[in-house]
């Protein structure tokens, strides 16, 4: 039997309904009932679309108001003790307020006090495997009281069932939940895998409740199986699911569930192959079926064919759920026939997406009037992927029944056209050398070693101990957003828009003078997003109008599309940086100061630009990244030439780019380091290269960090409760370059107190030379308001000055 399904669907809703409902609720513009209603409408529209497109198993449980891992943490009562005083009532509003406090933190009044800085920090945020989606990190402890606090998944299934849909509930499995969890107390010596079995009774109860209400199948997502697992984790995985099977059966015997119509358990892994985890995962008897990512995990095919899976269900992820290129249905059909035509007749087959379509924009139809026609015809977003899955299912079903081929001629023609389109738009005779030369033009490394540069830079900049700066972006205010919309809609000219950007830069510089920051930025007001901006300005890349993809919570981004050879046609940031330099000098002249003030230019690194875009899939991603690196190199050289001598090249995606399998990571590390060093060489030793990384595990990528050879590294640490320190030994030899681990968490609206900032800085100096420590926020300030920005920075700068006095410097 052949049927169709998807692993999951985007939550964004039409016209970003999800984002706007959340933000209106947070601003008290709508009630909690209206928020819930907005969520219901998104789910109903998704189900209706999938059904009309021909999908036979409609996924429920893939929607979340903020994050699916947070949903489970609340459902299983995995709540950190610091939230014990936050109101958690039975009312709908109380439930949502508590839920969002875990994601966004609680302000000082939430715990009954009204003391400045008495804030409750939110759960840590981390990347969901190697994607650009961020999930929250549950916190467990010996005091965690594991219990089922809601049955939202059951209610959602019943709602879909009552609407007439053949619904398939989906839930992240217990092993992946524990994988993303951490101990509330960073000093715990226990193994978190000892807590896996505590979750199993909760899963058993939830599964049986679904069974009781008529669910025929539940999809249990365990993408942890795409990673390299040690024997401890594999053994825990095996024991946990065997325990789950036993619990379900024993509870059925005493009246739970439905003993006559038993629910089928379906194990889903995606993002890569099972590889060495295959035998353990597929030998667990309670699973009636398995999902395979056959875009990124084709190495599993020989084992699939060897095992046979008689009387089981195989879900074949044939349609790419992570890239926007139209599926070549003929190629995918031939792929299926070549590898799976000989499956035993007892095997049920589901044609599926490789992974959840969460990572794609909702529909390409919104781009028809904006994208070049030839590019538009080659694209397929989430909605179009659903239709492709339905079409592919029809092709395979007809062939299996009659050995005839159903042709979708338009799709076949577009697949042939793609090569012609890419050639047409590629740079003529693309060089391997940069067109812009610098003092080190023939090499892709800095002139001197770090220690040699450090001495030169210390003399050149003469910064105080504990220098203060920000990561780059300042709040994107309503006025700048409205001006940008007016410019893009043709209501104002580019010159009028540029005048508004310059006005904001002037205000930003004056504010930094007032705050007395040591190293300035220009606020990045011209940028909607750190990658989208470069997608708009580099050749070979295109930016969509409505291609929104969820990053976390209400944060949506528009990943650019890389469709041809990437190169820099013109300077991208130099004009506004020249204006910034002149503005700073103008202020210094007006106050009669001869003191030098430095400003950092902010660029996005080549790995992050590619990782946070939809790249070409006809050449290796390493080649695409090298092309981008050459373009960024040209910009770095131009910035130095106009007098900018601090240049920050951000690489927040460098950790997530690591392949999930350890055996594949060395090759990635090599080309990622080479790409960054290509982008940041060709300049003088006195020019200081910074980089910023967020959501990265410092210790895991220490080889990469050292290989980048930067002068100053700033990293996110407060959001992760400074966990990067856990694997370091107190002393001064952990990292020789400048380091700014983050003084406070910009993701929370709570204003940090001076006391909490100073404690963090003192903690950092136990592990790093105090002369190398910079004081800066965790990340950029784009999502904060101006009212939140100023007091936070005031406290941060006051701490730096206090520490200098203590060190005998002022």
For the annotated binding site, the residues are: 19, 132, 471-473, 524, 612, 650, 692, 694, 716, 779
Contact 740, 773 (CB under 8 A): yes
How far, in Å, CA of 495 to CA of 488, rounded?
A: 12
CA distances from 362 to 545, 628, 685 (A): 12, 27, 47
Q: Which two tokens stand for residue 718?
A: 């407060």
CA distances from 78 to 15, 102, 103, 115, 147 (A): 34, 11, 13, 27, 8
How far, in Å, CA of 749 to CA of 754, rounded?
A: 16
Other C-beta atoms lying within 10 Å of the C-beta of residue 589: 10
- Nearest Cα neighbor of 181 from 99, 78, 62, 267 is 78
Q: Assign residue 540 a region: left if phi > 0, alpha if psi is -120 to 50, beta otherwise?
A: left
Strands 348-353 and 313-319: parallel
3-class DSSP state of 542: strand
Q: What is the DSSP string of 743-768?
A: SS-TTS-SPPPHHHHHHHHHHHTTTS
Contact 331, 293 (CB under 8 A): no
Q: Which two tokens stand for residue 610?
A: 């590619």
Angle between helix 329-340 and 382-402 (nearest 10): 50
How far, in Å, CA of 407 to CA of 467, rounded?
A: 65
DSSP lists the bridge partners of residue 167 as 58
Counting every residue, how long is the chain?
Answer: 810
Q: Which two tokens stand for residue 283?
A: 């030998």
CA distances from 492 to 283, 533, 679 (A): 64, 20, 35
Residues with Cβ within 8 Å of 646's Cβ and at least 6 positions away in sequence, in order, are 461, 519, 598, 599, 600, 601, 687, 688, 690
3-class DSSP state of 739: strand
How far, in Å, CA of 387 to CA of 391, rounded?
A: 6
Longest dimension (CA), the chain: 87
The distance from CA 211 to its chain's CA centroid, rounded to whole angstroms, is: 34
Other C-beta atoms lying within 10 Å of the C-beta of residue 453: 22
Q: Which two tokens stand for residue 648?
A: 């920050």
**Dihedral sign, CA of 290, 294, 295, 301?**
positive
DSSP 186: T
134 belongs to the catalytic site: no
Q: Name the residues annotated as catalytic.
A: 747
């Amino acid at each position: 039997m052949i049927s169709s399904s998807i692993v999951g669907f985007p939550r964004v809703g039409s016209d970003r309904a999800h984002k706007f409902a959340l933000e209106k609720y947070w601003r008290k513009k709508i009630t909690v009932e209206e928020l819930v209603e907005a969520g219901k409408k998104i789910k109903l529209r998704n189900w209706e679309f999938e059904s009309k497109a021909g999908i036979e198993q409609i996924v429920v449980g893939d929607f979340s108001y903020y994050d699916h891992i947070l949903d489970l943490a609340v459902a299983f009562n995995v709540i950190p003790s610091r939230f014990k005083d936050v109101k958690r009532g039975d009312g709908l509003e109380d439930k949502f307020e508590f839920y969002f406090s875990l994601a966004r933190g609680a302000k000082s009044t939430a715990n009954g006090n009204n003391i400045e800085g008495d804030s409750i920090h939110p759960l840590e945020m981390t990347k969901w495997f190697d994607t650009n989606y961020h999930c929250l990190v549950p916190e467990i402890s010996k005091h965690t009281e594991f219990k089922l606090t809601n049955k939202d998944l059951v209610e959602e299934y019943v709602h879909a069932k009552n609407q007439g849909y053949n619904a398939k509930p989906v839930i992240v499995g217990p092993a992946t939940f524990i994988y993303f969890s951490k101990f509330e107390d960073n000093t715990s010596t226990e193994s978190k895998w000892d807590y896996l079995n505590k979750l199993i009774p909760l899963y058993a109860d939830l599964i049986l409740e679904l069974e009781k209400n008529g669910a025929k199948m539940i999809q249990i997502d365990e993408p942890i199986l795409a990673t390299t697992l040690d024997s401890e984790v594999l053994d825990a995985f095996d024991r946990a699911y065997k325990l789950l099977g036993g619990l379900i059966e024993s509870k059925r015997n005493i009246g739970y569930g439905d003993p006559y119509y038993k629910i089928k358990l379906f194990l889903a892994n995606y993002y890569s192959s099972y590889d060495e985890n295959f035998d353990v995962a597929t030998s667990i008897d309670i699973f009636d079926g398995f999902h395979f990512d056959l875009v990124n995990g084709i190495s599993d095919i020989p084992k699939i064919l060897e095992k046979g899976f008689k009387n089981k269900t195989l879900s074949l992820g044939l349609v790419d759920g992570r890239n926007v290129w139209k599926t070549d249905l003929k190629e995918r059909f031939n792929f299926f026939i070549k590898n799976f035509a000989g499956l035993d007749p007892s095997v049920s087959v589901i044609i599926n997406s490789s992974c959840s379509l969460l990572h794609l924009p909702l529909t390409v139809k919104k781009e028809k009037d904006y994208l070049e026609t030839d590019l538009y015809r080659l694209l397929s977003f989430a909605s179009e992927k659903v239709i492709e899955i339905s079409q592919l299912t029809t092709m395979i079903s007809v062939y299996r029944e009659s050995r005839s081929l159903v042709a979708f001629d338009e799709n076949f023609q577009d697949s042939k056209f793609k090569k012609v389109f890419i050639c047409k738009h590629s740079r003529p005779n693309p060089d391997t050398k940069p067109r812009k030369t610098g003092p080190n033009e023939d090499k892709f490394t800095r002139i001197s070693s770090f220690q040699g540069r450090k001495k030169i830079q210390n003399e050149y900049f003469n910064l105080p101990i504990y220098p203060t700066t920000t990561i780059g972006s300042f709040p994107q205010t309503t006025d700048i957003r409205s001006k940008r919309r007016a410019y893009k809609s043709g209501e104002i000219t580019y010159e009028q828009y540029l005048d508004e950007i310059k006005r904001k830069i002037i205000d930003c510089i004056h504010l930094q003078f007032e705050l007395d920051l040591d190293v300035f930025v220009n606020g990045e007001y011209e940028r909607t997003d750190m990658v989208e901006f470069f997608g708009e300005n580099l050749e070979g890349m295109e930016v969509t109008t409505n291609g929104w993809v969820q990053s976390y919570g209400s944060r949506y981004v528009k990943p650019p599309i890389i469709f041809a050879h990437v190169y820099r046609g013109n300077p991208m940031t130099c004009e506004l940086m020249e204006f910034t330099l002149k503005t700073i000098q103008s202020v210094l002249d007006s106050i009669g100061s001869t003191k030098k003030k430095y400003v950092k230019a902010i660029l996005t690194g080549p790995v992050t630009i590619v990782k946070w875009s939809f790249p070409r899939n006809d050449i290796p991603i390493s080649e695409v990244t090298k092309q981008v690196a050459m373009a960024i190199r040209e910009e770095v050289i131009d910035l130095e030439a106009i007098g900018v001598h601090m240049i920050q090249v951000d690489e927040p995606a460098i950790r997530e780019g690591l392949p999930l399998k350890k055996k594949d990571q060395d090759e990635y590390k090599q080309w990622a380091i080479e790409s960054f060093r290509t982008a940041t060489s060709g300049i003088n030793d006195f020019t200081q290269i910074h980089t910023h990384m967020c959501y990265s595990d410092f210790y895991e990528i220490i080889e990469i960090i050292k290989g980048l050879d930067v002068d100053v590294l700033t990293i996110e640490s407060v959001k992760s409760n400074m966990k990067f320190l856990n694997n370091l030994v107190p002393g001064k030899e952990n990292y020789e370059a400048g380091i700014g681990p983050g003084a406070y968490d910009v993701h929370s609206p709570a204003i940090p107190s001076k006391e909490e900032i100073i404690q963090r800085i003192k903690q950092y100096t136990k592990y790093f030379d105090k002369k190398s420590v910079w004081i800066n926020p965790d990340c950029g300030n784009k999502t904060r308001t101006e009212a939140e920005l100023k007091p936070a920075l005031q406290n941060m700068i006051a701490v730096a000055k206090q520490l200098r006095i203590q060190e005998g410097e002022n």
